[in-house]
Amino acid sequence: MKSLRLGRYAVCTGVAVAMLAGCGSQVAPTGGMTASYAAHGESWILPGTSSGDLIYATGGCGGACVISYPSGQTADSISISGGVGGDCSDSEGNVFIANNTHVLEYAHGGTTPTATLDLAGDDATGCAIDGATGNLAIVYRGSGADVAVFADAQGQPTLYSSGLDSEFCGYDGDGNLFVSGYNSDTPGLSELPKGSGGFSTLSINGKLGNPGRVQWDGKYVTYESRTAGSVKIARLTVAGSSATVVSATRFKGAVRNAYESWIYGKRIIVPYSIHGEYGNKIGVWAYPGGGKAVVRTFQKYPKNWSFQAVTVSVAPSGTRIHK
Strands 309-313 and 54-58: antiparallel
| Position 125 in a domain | yes
Biggest alpha carbon–alpha carbon distance for the chain = 56
What was the pLDDT predicted at 59? 97
Domains contained in the chain, number: 1
The secondary structure of residue 23, as a DSSP letter, is H
- Predicted local distance difference test score (pLDDT) of residue 277: 80
What region does 77 belong to: left with phi over 0, alpha with psi -120 to 50, or beta?
beta
Q: Collect the ranges in the chain with pLDDT lower than 50.
A: 1-49, 318-323
pLDDT score of 228: 93
Instruction: Give dist(CA 307, CA 278) in Å, integer.
Output: 8
Q: Give domain status of residue 177, yes or no.
A: yes
The range of the structural domain enclosing residue 35 comes to: 16-252+270-279+300-313
Q: Is residue 289 assigned to a domain?
A: no
Q: Model pTM?
A: 0.85
Domain contains 155: yes
The pLDDT assigned to 51 comes to: 59
* Residue 131 located in a structural domain: yes
pLDDT of residue 275: 85
**Residue 186 lies inside a defined structural domain of this protein:** yes
Say if residues 157 and 150 touch (Cβ distance below 8 Å): yes
CB-CB neighbours of 215 under 10 Å: 26
Domain of 28, CATH number, reads 2.130.10.10
What per-residue confidence (pLDDT) applies to 254? 87
In a domain, 112, yes or no: yes
Q: Identify whether 2 is part of a domain.
A: no
